[in-house]
Structure 1
């Protein structure tokens, strides 16, 4: 897979819950009776994996091999929503920290937990379609969702990585090539099945549990309950025009400035994300991968070039069917486990010349140090700027875009490798600090305040958290308190 495709697919990011990697056990309960795992296992339709169980090593793996060393006390491979309900009740009764796993792509390994319980939703992936609405289990992966909908000539605005889970993506927002034309993935949710901390199965929508429905659309997973199913309003699966434009490093500042104008002024049918990549020879690679939902990618590319003030040094224009686009953007039908470290900043508006220079400098410094590094900026605006029916807690309606700081690394990196990657991300944050409104919760990172991911939605989110999880059952450094 090319560096371009890997960067593109990973921007979906998207993970389920933003949760802790360490146990939150209470030492005062150490003398309590041990959990009756045998009885619990017999009650499940799915399977229970423990460290002594054959298949446990694979059962607790995430997308990023870096988290392989984290050892949950148990992994529940849930077969249905009732298994999830039983797992929550069992964990609560035995004072175990519980985390859900959808696609397992969380940047901080959020869907695993040392000495706690992982609930894997991967088997809950059934799908049906009727009258423009997709009903889907929370364990479904993006490629499977697109392939299923393609049979009906329909699609969803999503990210791109084929193995990202639909739940994590949608609950945290969900950005992709259709964001400007149709809004983020969370805006397409019609209703959700969710098991809350009290073990109650609920179906929430604009008319039933509207406060929880609002909160779940954009707050990330694992804060307020475990979502087990979705109903989505779909979009047409049309042909898409693609363009890819590359400029020399000498034009980098002009490209960033021009891209910002494009993000503000282009019609909502146009979208393009900007890649600033560190090369191993110490130089920068600058390109924009873009689309037009009308199929006229040439016009979109020409508009971007006019804003940049120069023609691209290389350019390609193609038209792809829905599934051709899905496979192109995701690099295929699946994706291998990949080591990475990443973070984000939400850009409140166009950066000035000094800030653009600082962003380029952060990537350039990484290039000179031979650190794999990319700054990838996805545009917002268009339909993403409008609140959907019933509202959503996703807080970045007025932002220009989201910049992702990404560094690929070995499957099991050394502390030194992690340190240099973190230095790049820290330098990126520093470069845009005066323009950053916060972070994107699907790109959650360690050492960052929870409040920076929720903006003006934070106060109301905390009120909903207190209502549906008053005992703070879903409690980790990354959950709402």
Structure 2
């Protein structure tokens, strides 16, 4: 289950795929391609529109992209399977897209051509100083595999997100302040290029490609078949959840930004200003949560400081000390086993439901919202009431270790960002989607005009926004020309392309 920004900002629903072909159209196109030749070369399996597994195989994490009909989905079992898919697609001029966890927020995990599914390349192999993981290993499974070794690698606030997209886009998580971004923990990667060549890149080999993979966004330069990561070793953490009444929301927002920006690196957290139902008369909530990679006593002192900055005691205050694994499972909303914390349909015991539609976008902020902007942001949250929807303004604490990396040291340029923030809207009932989606999109757009009046501010490629007028600068800043040089060298024909791909 997703929470925090990856619950509240789960999908850039104001954007999406411009194509939505019918299932029958996918069948007709697929019939003209000699898929049996590819199937014979795979250790994994190939699913076509005529197969009974096809409806499930084309699913992403969000139901809003179910209308897209790939010609085929290849479940790759090995690195060579990826290579065979790439060469086959090139020969038959098929569009391709890699799919790890299927969470891409603009629907870029699917295509009308060949989906190269990586979910079966999901190994987690701890070593003495590094961990090797497959691109399709889900965060909850990585957590379970590494916990006995006292290791972790960065994860977001959604249990079923995978490294394939998370790391290559930067990788913001609850340990960003104490351990850096996911991209900052990358030691090396194996990559299948557009010509079928497999390269092993690191600081010493194919160093420009290695640089680009750390924040340049997934599906731009090749398909990563394995990540080698440098783990953190956080044994126990102190978790916290606090709530204030809505009439203190402005004070909480101001205080939380100051508190997190000036807090120790070990402190991670989120602020959610949440309407659980945007019907008239429902009062929003001001919620603060996260954990400290340290003892509970230190956390209590820090929370006393936050309450002092707010100027009033919260209506509820909960703290706990437990293992990192237990805290992350709680944060994800996982009360059972790792297998149960998979999306429904992934395995017989999976319980996490797929979202219908969620509309969201966000920006990276170097400075706190001032008094005027805070008041305007809260007013925007309360506007556009629509029963049956949830509305949320989220803020996610950044800085710390991630902020001490030079902007040009990796492709992730936004090293001065101290917060990731944005608006999101979702639906409490599936029947409300058709009638309410346009209103939800207007509400999100109106809110973002407060945070980013020209819709041109710093943005996070893992939360894509197709309405950005100058996405090259918003995502990549001064690093974009270098990314283009890497693209021209490693993918000179732009075989890997999608909306907002790195240009040649």
TM-score w.r.t. the length of structure 2 is: 0.87
Distance 1:363 1:338 in 2: 22
Aligned residue for 1:96? 94
Residue pair 1:12, 1:175 contacting (<8 A) in 2 also: no
Contact kept in structure 1, 2:403 and 2:416, CA below 8 Å: yes
CA distance 1:338–1:163, shift in 2 (3 Å): same
**Over residues 441-474 of structure 1, what are the superposed CA-to-partner deviations in whole Å (9 max), with x where a residue is unaligned?**
1111333343222222222112211221111111
Q: Which residue of 2 aligns with 1:420?
A: 439
Give the corresponding residue for 1:174.
Answer: 171
Classify 1:205/1:169 alpha carbon distance in 2 versus 1 (closer, same or farther; 3 Å).
same
Correspondence for 1:433: 452
- Structure 1 residue aligned with 2:424: 406
Q: How has the CA–CA distance of structure 1 residues 476 and 278 changed in structure 2, closer, same or farther, with 3 Å as cutoff? A: same
Counterpart of 2:291 in structure 1 is 291
3-state SS of 1:454 partner: helix
Can you list the C-alpha shifts for 1:73-119, whole angstroms capped at 9, x where unaligned?
110111111111111111111111100101111122210112x1111
Residue 447 (str. 1) matches residue 467 (str. 2): yes
How many residue pairs match? The answer is 469
Matched, 1:318 2:337: no
Q: How far did residue 413 of structure 1 move?
A: 6.4
Q: 1:462 aligns with which of 484, 488, 499?
A: 484
More displaced 10-residue stretch of structure 1: 389-398 or 319-328: 389-398
- Rate the CA distance shift 1:443–1:321 in 2: closer, same or farther, 3 A: same
In the alignment, the residues of structure 1 paired with residue 330 and residue 33 of structure 2 have an alpha-carbon distance, to the nearest angstrom, of 47
Can you list the C-alpha shifts for 1:4-30, whole angstroms capped at 9, x where unaligned? x64465369699xx9956399xxxxxx
TM-score (norm 1): 0.91
- Could you say what secondary structure the match of 1:154 adopts? coil
Root-mean-square deviation (Å): 2.6
List aligned pairs for 1:166-245, cutoff 5 A.
166-245=163-242
* Inter-CA distance 7–378: structure 2 relative to 1 (3 Å threshold): closer
- Alignment correspondent of 2:347: none
Q: Which SS does the other structure have where 1:86 is aligned? A: helix
Indicate if the aligned counterparts of 1:19 and 1:222 stay in contact, CA closer than 8 A.
no
Q: CA deviation at 1:365?
A: 1.1
The answer to whether residue 111 in structure 2 is matched with residue 119 in structure 1 is no
Alignment of 1:348-387 (within 5 A): 348-367=366-385, 371-387=389-405
1:13–1:169 CA contact under 8 A, matched in 2: no
| More moved, 96-105 vs 369-378 | 369-378
How far apart are the structure 2 equivalents of 1:89 and 1:19? Answer: 28
Q: Is the 8 A contact 2:9 2:360 kept in 1?
A: no
Cα distance per residue 1:135-177 (max 9 Å; x no partner): 1111100010010110101112221311111221111111222
Further displaced range: 333-342 or 345-354 = 333-342
Aligned-partner Cα distance in 1 for 2:127–2:10: 28
Structure 2 residue 468 is matched with structure 1 residue 471: no
Give the conservation status (yes or no) of the 8 Å contact 1:98–1:474. Answer: yes
2:192 touches 2:223 (CA, 8 Å); kept in 1? yes
The equivalent of 2:353 in structure 1 is 336
- Structure-2 separation of matches of 1:122 and 1:21: 25
Gaps of 5+ in 2: 22-28, 342-351
User: CA 1:288–1:217 in structure 2 vs 1: closer, same or farther (change >3 Å)?
Assistant: same
Q: Tell me which moved more, 364-373 or 195-204.
A: 364-373
Which range moves more in the overlay, 147-156 or 338-347?
338-347
SS of alignment partner, residue 437 of structure 1: coil
User: Within 2, Cα distance between the matches of 1:92 and 1:412?
Assistant: 41
- Rounded to whole Å, the distance in 2 between the matches of 1:369 and 1:100 is 37
Query: How much does 1:367 deviate?
Result: 4.3
CA distance in 2, matches of 1:348, 1:221: 25
1:254 counterpart (251, 255, 273): 251
Q: Among residues 299, 303, 306, which one is paired with 2:305 in the alignment?
A: 303
Find out whether 1:276 has 2:298 as its counterpart: no
* Structure 1 Cα separation of the partners of residues 3 and 416 of structure 2: 28
Deviation, structure 1 residue 308: 2.1
1:392 aligns with 2:410: yes
CA deviation after TM superposition for structure 1 residue 53, in Å: 1.6
CA distances 1:40-95 after superposition (whole Å, capped 9, x unpaired): 11111111111112211111101101111110011011111111111111111111
Deviates more, 1:5-14 or 1:416-425: 5-14
Distance 1:11 1:393, change over 3 A: farther
Greater displacement, 288-297 / 407-416? 407-416
Q: Which residue of 1 aligns with 2:107?
A: 109
Greater alpha carbon shift after TM alignment, 408-417 vs 452-461 = 408-417
- Over 3 Å counting, the alpha-carbon distance change for 1:398 and 1:359 in structure 2 is same
What CA distance in whole angstroms lies between the structure 2 residues aligned with 1:413 and 1:132? 50
Secondary structure at the counterpart of residue 149 of structure 2: coil
Task: Identify if the C-alpha distance between structure 1 residues 314 and 425 changes in structure 2 by more than 3 Å, giving closer, same or farther.
Answer: same
